[in-house]
Amino acid sequence: MGKRPVGSGPVGMGPWRFVLWFGTVSLLADFVYEGARSVTGPLLASLGASALVVGVVTGAGEAAALGLRLVSGPLADRTRRFWGLAIAGYALTVASVPLLGVVGTLWAACALVIAERVGKAVRSPAKDTLLSHATAATGRGRGFAVHEAMDQVGALVGPLLVAGVLALTGGDYGPALGVLALPGVAVLGVLFWLRARVPDPEAYEREAAATAAAAGPAPERGAAEARLPRAFWSYAAFTAATTTGLATFGVLSFHLVQRHLLASTWVPVLYAAAMAVDAVAALATGWLYDRHGPRVLIALPVLTAGVALLAFTDTLGIAVAGSLVWGAAMGIQESTLRATVADLVPSGRRATAYGLFAGVVGAASLAGGALIGGLYGYSIPVLITVVVAVQVLAVVLLFATRASRR
C-alpha cells in the first residue's frame, strides 16, 4: 500500500464510515455463505453423501478456514496486499456458493463446500487488519462490535431466504442457492468501490498515533515489529483455554432434542435467538472494552462456565437460557477478542498475528468439541466440573496477559 503523509488521511471517508461500509461487506457475505451453510448437510445428502462424508467434508472445510490462515496471515504481512487478498477471498466464496446448487455431482459439491471455506481463510487476516486500522480511530471495541453486529444480520437473513425459496420451489436447491449470487455480486461491488475510496486504511492508524503522540510521548516500537509480543502469546493461551470449554451449538441442540426438551423444528428458532444475543453482547462488550480495557474479557470465562451449568439441565427454560448465554459468549469471541489482538500487536505483524490466533482458536475448538462431546456421554457432572476448572485457568491466563502488557 502506498503511504500518505501523516495527517493527510484517507480521502473522502471518515473511519466510522469505513467501518460501516466494511460491515456492509460482511453482512452481504454472511448472507451468501451462511445461507449455503444452513443447507450443506441436506444438499450433500441429496447427491448421495453419507453422514460420514458430510462430517468429513464439513470438518475439512472448517479446518481449512482456520488452519490456512497460518499461511495467509504471514503472506498478507509480507506482501502488504491486504485489499487484494481480501477481494480474492471474498470472490472465491461468492463464486462457490451459487455453483453448489447446479453442479449435480457429489465430488464437485464437496470441492465447492471446501472452496468456500478456503475463501474465508484467504481473506480473514487481511480483512481484520484493514478493519483494525480504522478501529484505531473509532475505538477498537466499538469498531469490531459494530462490524460483528452487522455480520450477524446477514447470518440471520441468508438462511431465512434460502428456507423461503426452498419452500416455494419444493426443495429445489438450484434457485435457493442461485438467488445468493445477487448479494455476492454486491459484495464485490462494494469492495472495489471501498478500495478506490480508501486505498490506504493504515492512514487512519497513523493519524490516531500522531494525535496520541501530540498528547504525550509515543511508545518505542522498533523491536516489537520484528516479533510478536509476549502478551500476545499469553493472550492466545487465555483464548485457547476459554474456547476449549465452550460447547458447540451442535452439542447444545443435541441435548435439547435427545432429552425431549425441544422439538427439532424449533432448534433453528433458538439458534436465531442466540445470534441476536450474539450481536447485542458484541456491542455491549465492545463499548465496555473501550472504556475499561481487556479486563472486561473476564466475562468470557464466566459465560462459558455458565453455558455448561445451564445448558445441560433437564429443565427446558434453564437449558434454553444456557443456549442464549452461549450466544453472548460467541458475540465476545467474534468481536472483542479480535479487537484485543489489534491492541496487542504492531501494525507490521498484525495479519500474521490474526492468522496464528485463528489457528489457536481452531485447535482449541477441535479439542473442546472432542472433550465436551466425550464427557457428555460419560457424565454431565464431570463435564461441568472440567469446564469450570478450565475457565478458572483461563482467568489466571487473562491476568498473566495484563501483567505482561505492563
Q: Report whether 327 contacts 274 (CB < 8 A).
A: yes
Helix-helix angle 181-197:15-37, to 10 degrees: 160
C-alpha grid cell for residue 303?
459465560
pLDDT of res. 3: 41
The dotted CATH code for 226-405 is 1.20.1250.20
pLDDT of res. 92: 96
Architecture of domain 15-207: Up-down Bundle (1.20)
Segments in the chain below pLDDT 70: 1-12, 51, 55, 59, 212-226, 250, 264-265, 268, 403-406
| Residues contacting residue 61 through CB under 8 Å, at least 6 positions apart | 113, 114, 116, 117
Closest CA to 10 of 192, 194, 198: 198
Count CB neighbours of 269 within 10 A.
10
- Distance between CA atoms of residues 93 and 25, nearest Å: 13
Residues 262-281 pLDDT 10s: 876 577 678 778 888 988 99
Residue 125, amino acid: P
- Distance between CA atoms of residues 195 and 23, nearest Å: 14
Count CB neighbours of 52 within 10 A.
8
pLDDT of res. 98: 93
C-alpha grid cell for residue 113?
463446500
Write down the residue that cell numbers 438462511 correspond to: 159
Closest CA to 355 of 82, 97, 138, 145: 82
- Distance between CA atoms of residues 288 and 187, nearest Å: 31
- Distance between CA atoms of residues 243 and 288, nearest Å: 21
Q: Report whether 45 contacts 54 (CB < 8 A).
A: yes
C-alpha grid cell for residue 79?
506482501
- Distance between CA atoms of residues 367 and 347, nearest Å: 30
- Distance between CA atoms of residues 277 and 325, nearest Å: 8
Q: What is the pTM of this model?
A: 0.77
CA distances, 339 to each of 129, 201, 242, 295 (Å): 10, 16, 17, 13
Residues 36-82 pLDDT 10s: 877 777 788 888 888 677 767 876 777 788 888 889 999 999 999 99
Residue 283, amino acid: L
Q: Is the dihedral of CA 167, 173, 179, 184 positive or negative?
A: positive
- Distance between CA atoms of residues 267 and 89, nearest Å: 31
Q: Is 379 helix (H, G, I), strand (E, B) or coil?
A: coil
Write down the residue that cell numbers 437473513 correspond to: 157
Write down the residue that cell numbers 505482561 correspond to: 404
Per-domain boundaries in the chain: 15-207, 226-405
pLDDT of res. 222: 42
User: Identical fold at 15-207 and 226-405?
Assistant: yes
Query: Taking the C-alpha atoms of 288, 297, 118 and 181 in order, what is their torsion angle to the nearest 10 degrees?
Result: -30
C-alpha grid cell for residue 130?
484493514
Q: Report whether 364 contacts 390 (CB < 8 A).
A: no
